[in-house]
A and B are shown apart, each in its own frame.
Chain A
């Protein structure tokens, strides 16, 4: 049994919608079978108006125990640090979050907005948005780098735009079944169990990446890293191991990975030439190279593969790995 309160700040509700797609367990199962008692949720809670205000005041006063505070959406601090661009129950939402974080057992930030500011924090950041404990890659955010909840952990960041429902439900089940000790978090406070491997792990086009075969929109086969800006090699997430909607993933549907589980999404702040395009030096060298590889090493190895692959094609070597079919 764990009491959960879910609030939204500068949110699109995408993480809630993703959460409602959950399968193992489903949201009703989470409530009925795993004892997650949802005190209130903006999309499915029954209470309105001062009923919600009273609930939050009871939590602050210790009359109602809050085991898990889930926050979705950015922390809106504008204008001028007042937070009044996002009133909730007659007060700036950021004030509620600061106070509820003091009494919560665990605080879980869901989605890029809550973790590090997300799209609302893209310059000029009109709403002065930030994340709960990070602002883009920098520690801090609303609660500050030293914050720990009563349960002894900093904010547990489950990034993604949106977060995959499994990433959310499995952490909630871990908390409610006493396995929180197995939740290890990385430098960005992400649970390592989901955010150690890269999106490229399990991508069906990994071999095209290795051998430098280009893909493009509307085309079967080929790697999207070279032309349309896929960030699979530099993005930690389990998208190709735990599929989306039980069916697919962006790269499986020929959609470049946007790098949305890494702080800084949307990368390069949407500047001209950065959206669904690979940014390049000298017109052919990718500016962003796979994580953990030096640019020089990457360019050298990639150049070697590219040249060798081209030679093989010219000399008629069969490249059966790159055949496609409808």
Chain B
């Protein structure tokens, strides 16, 4: 007999912040899920009425994991308002900052956040389990230690130009603060080279970056795994084989729609920043993919819904037109009204649709046949979406797939910095509305800013986690993680690792969700103790 039960999981953990999840189950299968972000800090209220440059200091500190990404957005938003000029050096050094933060996050997320779950006893009956435990167990796993240490290397490059990571404010409207010298560039090249030798090619790929980047399809990837022992037994090889053996490709589908703003503004294509000119200037392309067709990224099609968030009700609105949120009383999970307001996260929608943000969105956009010459062209994930569809595995593979290309891009951009060129052109402050966006490691991030009378009138931050962890919208449609949890089987309600794996495959970062909290169900159902 199927029996409906509900599971309140608080905290989920390893999602960078406070995520609570409620799942309603029927015979061990999740039929409905609610995500609840459980913390409110009110950064938008803090910045209202303050110095126009406050976002450069405050927003990197919304999220210590994506601080460089917030800085990229904050400086870009002011660039569009103050109508700055950006030199090629400024654009290169910002791109290097964004890219080093993102590549840092790949081993750190994989080993510290994600792969430890693959060592969960749930998978103990599989043949590859012993090897997974040996390498990926928390702290003691042979690769865990190397991967966590290696993850610190790329942000050493960030520190050469930004002074420190996390929490630098070196990107400013008009350029960057630093004026690097020869030794900064040569040292950066050497650090990246060590990162490649110590981890990326040796432990992670088991082959050269060039060999890996020849993979164009799912079939190519499977051939790559079996090509030799080195690739088969690399951490990536093991991850792919174990994921398929453990069935990680079988759950966690999501909403099947994807959003990316794109990032890495090209050094010669965005010297006069405008909101309208942004999408053509990015190297990693943006867009909206509805599962069949690509659509251009138009930020004016984005709205936030608050009907299920703990804010005073307002009509769904574009961030430029949203009032500062007024927080309402939140609840514990137990007391939450799950049909009403249940999270501190708002629900963003593109053209009315919930959409998944993140590396999978980015690598799908890379397959758009209309991408411009300077943009990434990579058909692999459109093929994987055909062959496997979205899943915990697909999403995680997309994440790690970016590392080799990012490495090459960082090296190329370092080689292009002109030590005789300018790094900063002092702008003139003025009022207006602006938009700054990027791709944080975990997806589409943007700031919408309005300056009036020389102070901040409105500052709206929409993080990738807002896209992914957001609650139901005004029409009752689920957010991406909520949708991805529906249909999963929870084998052991005392250790619902499947729920954690789905959440962690999105690499949700709750500290980014400036807003988030709890849920309720009309009738009292059985409640598991976790």
Do the beta carbons of A12 and B152 come within 8 Å of each other?
no
Interface segment among B47-55, B268-276, B401-409: the answer is: B47-55
- Whether B423 sits at the interface, judged by CB under 8 Å, is yes
User: Interface digits, B45-73 against A, CB 8 Å rule (1 contact, 0 not)?
Assistant: 11100111110111001111101000000
Q: Indicate if B159 sits at the interface (CB-CB under 8 A).
A: yes
Contact between chains at B64 and A162 (CB < 8 Å) = yes
Q: Which residues on the A side are within 8 Å of B178 (C-beta)? A: 218, 253-255
A126 to B38, Cβ gap below 8 A?
Answer: no
Binds A, one of B137-145, B221-229, B345-353: B137-145
Residue A21 lies at the interface, judged by CB distance under 8 Å to chain B: yes
- The smallest C-beta distance from B250 to any residue of chain A, in angstroms, reads 21
The interface size of chain B toward A, counting residues with CB under 8 Å, comes to 99
Contact digits for A32-73, partner B, Cβ 8 Å, 1 yes 0 no: 100000101011111111111100000000000000000000
Determine if A120 and B46 form an interchain contact, defined as CB atoms under 8 angstroms apart.
Answer: yes
Contacts of A254 in B (CB 8 A): 177-179
Q: Is the Cβ of B13 less than 8 Å from the Cβ of A275?
A: no
Question: Could you tell me if A87 and B10 are in contact, using CB atoms closer than 8 angstroms?
Answer: yes
- Binary per-residue interface labels of chain B (9-43) against chain A in the complex, 1 for a CB within 8 Å, 0 otherwise: 11111101110100000000000000000111111
- A26-B149, A48-B500 known; A218 and B179 CB under 8 Å? yes
| Chain B residues whose C-beta falls within 8 Å of the C-beta of A205 in the assembled complex | none
Nearest-Cβ distance from residue B494 to partner chain A, whole angstroms = 9
- Looking at A11, A161, A162, the one whose CB has the most chain B CB atoms below 10 A away is A11
CB pair A244–B164 under 8 Å, yes or no, is yes
Interchain nearest-CB distance for A261 vs B (Å): 12
Query: Which residues of B lie under 8 Å from residue A248 when comparing CB positions?
Result: 159-160, 163-164
Beta-carbon contacts under 8 Å, B417-439 to A: 419-420, 422-426
Across the interface, do A244 and B163 meet the contact criterion of CB distance under 8 Å? yes
A271 at the interface (CB under 8 A from B): yes
Which chain B residue shows the least CB distance to A120?
B41
Residues A127 and B42 in contact, CB atoms below 8 Å apart: yes
Distance between B119 CB and nearest chain A CB, rounded to angstroms: 9
Q: Interface of B with A (CB < 8 Å)? A: 8-14, 16-18, 20, 38-43, 45-47, 50-54, 56-58, 61-65, 67, 90, 108, 112-113, 116, 138-140, 144-145, 148-149, 151-152, 155-156, 158-170, 172, 174-179, 181-182, 187, 327, 329-334, 344, 419-420, 422-426, 454-455, 495-496, 500, 509, 511, 517-518, 529-530
Q: How far is the CA of A268 from the CA of B108 in the complex (A)?
A: 36
Q: Which residues of A are found within 8 Å of B425, using beta-carbon distances?
A: 218
A253 and B162: CB pair below 8 A? yes
| Chain B residues with CB under 8 A of A9 | 39
Interface 0/1 of A114-141, CB less than 8 Å to B:
0000111011111101000000000000
In this complex, the member of A28, A162, A218 whose beta carbon has the largest number of chain B beta carbons within 10 angstroms is A218
Map CB proximity to B onto A1-33 as digits: 1 under 8 Å, 0 otherwise: 000000011111111111011010011100110
User: B149, A86: Cβ atoms under 8 Å?
Assistant: no
Is the CB–CB distance between B496 and A49 below 8 Å? yes
A148 at the B interface (CB under 8 A): no
Q: Is A274's beta carbon under 8 Å from chain B?
A: yes
Whether A47 contacts B13 by the Cβ 8 Å rule is yes
CB-nearest residue of chain B relative to A224?
Answer: B177
Q: Is A220 an interface residue (CB 8 A)?
A: yes
- Chain A stretch 236-289: residues in CB contact (< 8 A) with chain B: 239, 244-256, 258, 260, 266, 269-276
Residues of A close to B169: CB separation below 8 A: 255, 258, 276
Closest to B116 in A: A46
Contacts of B423 in A (CB 8 A): 217-218
A49/B9 contact (C-beta < 8 A), A127-B41, A270-B54, A276-B169 known: yes
Residue numbers in A under 8 Å from B331 (CB-CB): 84
| CB within 8 Å of B: which A155-183 residues | 161-162
Residues of A within 8 A of B (CB): 8-18, 20-21, 23, 26-28, 31-32, 38, 40, 42-53, 74, 76, 78-79, 84-91, 118-120, 122-127, 129, 161-162, 216-220, 239, 244-256, 258, 260, 266, 269-276, 325-326
Asked if residues B424 and A218 are in contact (CB atoms below 8 Å), the reply is yes
Is A12's CB under 8 angstroms from B57's CB?
no
Q: What is the bound-complex CA distance between A45 and B139, given in angstroms?
A: 10
Find out whether the CB atom of B530 lies under 8 angstroms from the CB atom of A49: yes
Chain B residues near A162 (CB, 8 Å)? Answer: 64, 166-167
From B152, B158, B333, name the one whose CB has the most chain A CB atoms within 10 angstroms. Answer: B152
Establish whether residues A20 and B151, one from each chain, have CB atoms under 8 Å apart when the complex forms.
Answer: yes
Most buried by B among A8, A14, A89: A14
- Given contacts A48-B496, A248-B160, are A16 and B177 in contact (CB under 8 A)? no
Residue of B nearest to A270 (CB): B50
Bound CA span A199–B96, Å: 26
A161 and B167 form a contact (CB under 8 A): yes
Report chain A residues within 8 Å CB of B51.
Answer: 270-275
Expressed in whole angstroms, the Cα–Cα distance for A11 and B112 within the complex equals 19
Residues of chain A contacted by B166 (CB below 8 angstroms): 14, 17-18, 162
The answer to whether B161 touches A275 (Cβ under 8 A) is no
Instruction: Give bound CA distance, A6 to B394, whole Å.
Output: 32
B420 to chain A, nearest CB (A): 7
Shortest distance from the beta carbon of A104 to any chain B beta carbon, whole Å: 20
Q: Are B63 and A49 in contact (CB under 8 A)?
A: no
Q: Does B182 lie within 8 Å of A326, measured CB to CB?
A: yes
Distance of A279 Cα from B359 Cα, bound (Å): 42
Q: A253 and B9: CB pair below 8 A?
A: no
- List of A residues within 8 angstroms of B41 by Cβ: 10, 74, 76, 120, 126-127, 129
Contacts of A89 in B (CB 8 A): 10-11
- In whole angstroms, how far apart are the Cα atoms of A229 and B162 in the complex? 17
Say whether B40 contacts A127, CB under 8 Å. Answer: yes
Q: Judge whether B40 and A13 touch: CB under 8 Å.
A: no
Residue of A nearest to B21 (CB): A49
Minimal beta-carbon separation of A100 from chain B (angstroms):
15
Across the interface, do B163 and A17 meet the contact criterion of CB distance under 8 Å? no
Which B residues are CB-close (under 8 A) to A52? 11, 13
Q: Are B58 and A266 in contact (CB under 8 A)?
A: yes
Complex Cα distance, B159 from A251, in Å, reads: 11
Report the minimum CB–CB distance from A56 to chain B (whole Å): 11
Give 9 nearest A-B pairs by CB, closest first: A14-B64, A218-B424, A126-B42, A49-B530, A244-B164, A253-B163, A245-B159, A250-B163, A218-B423
Residue of A nearest to B101 (CB): A17
In the complex, A280→B178 CA distance in Å? 24
Q: A87-B38, A119-B58, A253-B178 are in contact. Are A46 and B330 (CB under 8 A)?
A: no
Give complex CA distance A123, B455 in Å.
15
Q: How far is the CA of A53 from the CA of B159 in the complex (A)?
A: 38
A126 touches B496 (CB 8 A): no
Q: Please indicate the chain A residues that have their CB under 8 angstroms from the CB of B90 in the complex.
A: 218
- 14 example contacts (A-B, Cβ-Cβ < 8 A) are as follows A8-B18, A14-B64, A27-B148, A42-B17, A44-B116, A76-B40, A84-B329, A84-B330, A119-B43, A253-B178, A258-B57, A258-B169, A270-B57, A275-B56
CB distance from B61 to the nearest CB of A (A): 5
- CA distance in complex: A249, B332 (Å): 42
Residue in B39, B112, B167 whose CB lies within 8 Å of A10: B39
Q: Would you call A14 and B10 a contact (CB within 8 A)? A: no
A255 contacts which of B40, B168, B500 (Cβ < 8 Å)? B168
Contact A244 B112 (CB under 8 A): no
Q: Which one, B13, B165, B176, contacts A245 given CB within 8 A?
A: B165
Nearest neighbor of A269 in chain B, beta-carbon distance: B50
From the candidates A13, A28, A123, name the one contacting B17 in the complex (CB within 8 A).
A13
> Please, which residues of chain A bring their CB within 8 A of the CB of B161?
253
Answer whether A26 and B167 are a contact pair too, CB < 8 Å, given A21-B152, A91-B332, A247-B156: no
A96 to B155, CA, bound (A): 34
